[in-house]
């Protein structure tokens, strides 16, 4: 009985768990960002934008290009790293967003009303076109088939997260207190906008509290260090996701997007220009896809014209897992998939004594997905009608 | 003064000729009703007016301004609000958000708050449900919401498509009373109904549609007294 179990080093499994979790959450947020593009477009058009993975890839190229230009101009090392990152991520997002809008206008809108398969074929065509276009542009421009993200020194250091666990806990309590005071002060104001603003400290403190408590439990010796880069990618993803949740749930634009997703004809009776809202949806989806591309590139180093395919496919799966068309579902689906993949990647070979290597991680992750979908065919949140977080 | 003029409108769905040379007039301040049996073209008439369907021939004018080819989202800004058949509330949006959607084309934030109160005065039930998603409302409440949503646009002309459909008799009466109230407060109403008796009771004038054509029109009392109308639509 002991022989089989003895092969597994439980102490090792436990020790690497926090790192695996961080990797999984990081990957999960990137999937979430991409998945939102699929799910929001599906929400308004009931159409899978298969070119979205290439929009992500273009974002990754733009992100690298911006950093390479900064490096060539000798400002990359001299300027604050977060500023360079901001430039890279913003450029990637904006260009990917505009690209997505253009694609919808040129390749999808003229086909509206055609049988459902037709725009799908068009999307696949756009995918190939973008792959070859990017390959051609960068072949001419840099004579390169792929781009490597230039290193940003600070990002390659490690942050002693374990040592700061107690501080994190204290900060969570402090932020919660600020939130409580804000809500008290705003009681008379009672404006919806203010209400949503006071949610910010609430959720920040909850998230920080969970992380701190988790660290204290998983890393009792307070020795865990996390790459600064991972924290930056996670932080940036969280920020973008929060802005999206705010826009979708608390603004007039977001309300119009949700109304169009539900019933285009009736939304137009309210005065909503449906085509405009569809364009905006592609813009937002492309924006997030592009940002995800730049963050993905920053994390993993190199991108080539075909880098979009696998993450795109996984993000699409994440969207289906969460319930296609459902915004919180896409976020949850991305996180679940990312964490599953990281767990499988690190633990499969350890637990199976090397019989299954890390290369089996996708098989494992997708098997779990298939299982979940067998029991919940509409996805994890597919039946939840209320789209509020 | 004429607020709406439809002249010789022909509307097709593919090969189906749904409206044939339909003409009708609505004067400011009136309640005009459009009655007819299933498939007569009542809904299609309203869809043509609000821009969801465009006539192949004929013209539609709002206060003398041609809107025959104007898209629906533009017509919504011109003072027409359309409560579609089957209510079509946004089920995943809250009651409040549905009402705010009604005021989508307006930018006067403070007045919108005042109008919310006005809608709640007409439909107090909605106020209790304000945070609920519209999909969880009962059929009657959804009808109130659809009407309240249309009122939020402060329309000149309100198009109502079978507001009494599927409601209990008590609620039907309440809905018709609200229609009269809304009209008294200054909104012109074009009312499509299967419940011809109730509709003719509240209306000033009426049109009878049959397989896409207007076959009869006149003051509501004379239609109520008309032999054919009584046979075909009042079940006598
Ligand atoms: N989207 C559509 N596609 C094809 N035909 C349609 C469509 N909508 C309506 N029709 C047809 O047009 C005709 C008029 O329909 P319409 O809905 O205007 O009738 P209605 O008077 O509102 O009927 P009801 O009382 O049942 O609501 C019908 O013959 C209907 O079958
Ligand atoms: Mg009808």
Shortest alpha-carbon distance between residue A35 and chain B (Å): 21
CB contact under 8 A, A258 and B90: yes
Residue B57 CA: distances (Å) to CA of A69, A263, A280, B69? 60, 28, 34, 11
Domains within chain B, CATH numbers bracketed: 2-79+155-233 (3.40.50.300), 90-154 (no CATH)
With helix as H, strand as E and coil as C, how does chain A read?
A: CHHHHHCCCHHHHHHHHHHHHHHHHHHHHHHHHHHHHHHHHHHHHCCCCCCHHHHHHHHHHHHHHHHHHHHHCCCCCCCCHHHHHHHHHHHHHHHHHHHHHHHHHHHHHHHCCCCCHHHHHHHHHHHHHHHHHHHHHHHHHHCCCCEECCCCHHHHCEECCHHHHHHHHHHHHHHHHHHHHHHHHCCCCCCHHHHHHCHHHHHHHHHHHHHHHHHHHHCCCCCCCEEHHHHHHHHHHHHHHHHHHHHHHHCHHHHHHHHHHHCHHHHHHCCCCHHHHHHHHHHHHHHHHHHHHHHHHHHHCEECCCCCHHHHHHHHHHHHHHCCCCHHHHHHHHHHHHHHHHHHHHHHHHHCCCCCCHHHHHHHHHHHHHHHHHHCCCCCCCCCCCCCC
Taking the CA of B13 as reference, the closest ligand is 1
CA A237, CA A89: separation in Å to the nearest integer?
Answer: 11
Q: Where are the domains of chain A?
A: 2-375
Pocket-testing residue among B44, B211, B214, ligand 1, by greatest number of atoms within 8 A of Cβ: B44
CA–centroid distance, B193 to ligand 2, in Å, is 8
CB contact under 8 A, B100 and A255: yes
DSSP code at position B232 = H
Q: Which pLDDT tens digits describe chain A residue by residue (389 residues)?
A: 445 555 677 888 888 888 899 999 999 999 999 999 999 999 999 999 999 999 999 999 999 999 999 999 988 888 899 999 999 999 999 999 999 999 999 999 999 989 989 999 999 999 999 999 999 999 999 998 899 999 988 898 999 988 888 999 999 999 999 888 887 877 655 555 566 677 778 888 898 899 889 888 888 888 889 999 999 999 999 999 999 999 999 899 999 999 999 999 999 999 999 999 999 999 999 999 999 999 999 999 999 999 999 999 999 999 999 999 999 999 999 999 999 999 998 888 888 877 888 788 888 878 877 888 888 888 888 764 443 33
The pLDDT of residue A78: 87
Contact A317, A53 (CB under 8 A): no
Taking each helix axis from N to C end, the angle separating A274-300 and A52-72, rounded to the nearest 10 degrees, works out to 50
Any chain A CB within 8 A of the CB of B88? Answer: yes
Among the partner-chain residues B73, B91, B100, the one whose CB lies closest to the CB of A262 is B91
Disruptive mutation site among A192, A261, A266, A388 for chain B (greatest number of B CBs within 10 Å): A266
Among the partner-chain residues B73, B97, B135, the one whose CB lies closest to the CB of A273 is B73
The pLDDT of residue A386: 42
The pLDDT of residue A350: 84
CB contact under 8 A, B92 and A265: no
CB contact under 8 A, A385 and B133: yes
Q: Would you say the ipTM is above 0.85? A: yes
Any chain B CB within 8 A of the CB of A195? Answer: no
Low-confidence ranges of chain B (pLDDT < 70): 236
Any chain A CB within 8 A of the CB of B153? Answer: yes
CA–centroid distance, B17 to ligand 1, in Å, is 10
Q: How many CB atoms lie within 10 A of CB A223?
A: 12
**Full-model pTM:** 0.91
| Ligand 1 pocket, CB under 6 A | B 13, 16, 18, 36, 38-44, 85, 194
Chain A residues in contact with B54 (beta carbon < 8 A): none
The CA radius of gyration of chain B, in Å to the nearest whole number, is 17
Any chain A CB within 8 A of the CB of B77? Answer: yes
Residue with tokens 């058949």: B85
The pLDDT of residue A389: 35
Shortest alpha-carbon distance between residue B141 and chain A (Å): 18
Pocket-testing residue among B24, B42, B190, ligand 1, by greatest number of atoms within 8 A of Cβ: B42
Q: Which residues surround ligand 2, an ion (CB under 5 A)?
A: B 43, 85
Residue with tokens 């074009």: B190
Conformational region of residue B8, where left means phi above 0, alpha means psi within -120 to 50, and beta covers everything else: left
Report the chain B residue with the minimal C-alpha distance to residue A383. B92
């Amino acid at each position: 009985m002991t022989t089989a179990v003895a092969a597994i080093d439980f102490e090792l499994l436990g020790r690497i768990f926090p790192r695996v979790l961080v990797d999984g959450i990081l990957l999960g947020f990137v999937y979430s960002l991409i998945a939102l593009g699929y799910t929001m477009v599906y929400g308004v058009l009931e159409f899978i934008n298969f070119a979205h993975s290439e929009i992500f890839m273009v974002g990754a190229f733009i992100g690298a290009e911006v950093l390479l230009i900064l490096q060539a101009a000798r400002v990359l090392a001299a300027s604050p790293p977060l500023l360079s990152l901001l430039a890279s991520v913003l450029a990637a997002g904006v260009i990917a967003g505009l690209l997505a809008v253009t694609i919808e206008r040129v390749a999808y809108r003229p086909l509206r009303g055609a049988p459902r398969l037709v725009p799908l074929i068009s999307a696949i065509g756009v995918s190939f076109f973008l792959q070859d276009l990017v390959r051609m542009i960068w072949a001419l421009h840099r004579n390169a088939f792929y781009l490597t993200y230039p290193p940003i020194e600070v990002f390659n250091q490690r942050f002693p997260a374990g040592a700061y666990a107690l501080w994190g806990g204290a900060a969570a309590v402090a932020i919660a207190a600020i939130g409580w005071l804000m809500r008290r002060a705003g009681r008379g104001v009672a404006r919806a906008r203010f209400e949503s603003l006071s949610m910010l400290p609430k959720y920040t403190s909850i998230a920080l509290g969970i992380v701190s408590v988790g660290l204290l439990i998983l890393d009792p010796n307070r020795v865990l260090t996390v790459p600064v880069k991972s924290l930056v990618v996670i932080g940036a993803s969280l920020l973008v996701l929060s802005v999206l949740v705010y826009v979708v749930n608390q603004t007039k634009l977001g309300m119009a997007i949700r109304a169009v997703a539900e019933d285009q004809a009736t939304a137009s009776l309210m005065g909503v220009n449906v085509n405009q809202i569809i364009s905006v949806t592609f813009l937002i989806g492309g924006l997030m896809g592009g940002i995800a591309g730049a963050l993905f590139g920053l994390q993993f180093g190199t991108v080539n014209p075909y880098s979009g395919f696998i993450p795109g496919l996984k993000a699409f799966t994440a969207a289906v897992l969460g319930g296609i068309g459902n915004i919180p579902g896409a976020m949850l689906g991305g996180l679940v998939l990312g964490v599953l993949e990281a767990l499988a990647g690190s633990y499969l070979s350890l637990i199976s004594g090397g019989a299954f290597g890390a290369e089996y991680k996708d098989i494992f992750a997708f098997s779990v997905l298939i299982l979940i979908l067998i029991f919940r065919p509409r996805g994890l949140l597919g039946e939840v009608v209320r789209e509020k977080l | 003064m004429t607020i709406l003029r439809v002249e010789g409108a022909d509307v097709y769905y593919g090969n189906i000729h749904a409206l044939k040379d339909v003409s009708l007039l609505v004067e400011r301040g009136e309640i005009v009703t459009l009655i007819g049996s299933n498939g007569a073209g009542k809904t299609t008439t309203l869809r043509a007016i609000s821009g969801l369907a465009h006539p192949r021939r004929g013209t539609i004018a709002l206060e003398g301004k041609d809107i025959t080819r104007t898209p629906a989202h533009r017509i919504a800004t011109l003072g027409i609000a359309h409560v579609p058949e089957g209510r079509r509330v946004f089920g995943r949006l809250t009651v409040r958000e549905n009402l705010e959607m009604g005021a989508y084309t307006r930018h006067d934030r403070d007045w919108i708050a005042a109008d919310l109160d006005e809608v709640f005065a007409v439909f107090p039930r909605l106020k209790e449900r304000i945070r609920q998603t519209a999909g969880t409302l009962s059929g009657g409440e959804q009808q109130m919401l659809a009407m309240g949503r249309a009122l939020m646009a402060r329309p000149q002309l309100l198009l109502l498509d079978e507001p009494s459909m599927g409601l209990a008799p008590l609620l039907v009466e309440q809905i018709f009373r609200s229609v009269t109230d809304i009209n008294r407060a200054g909104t012109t109403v074009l009312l499509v109904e299967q419940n011809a008796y109730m509709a003719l009771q509240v209306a000033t004038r009426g049109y009878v549609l049959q397989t896409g054509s207007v076959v009869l029109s006149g003051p509501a009392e004379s239609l109520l007294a008309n032999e054919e109308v009584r046979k075909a639509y009042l079940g006598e």
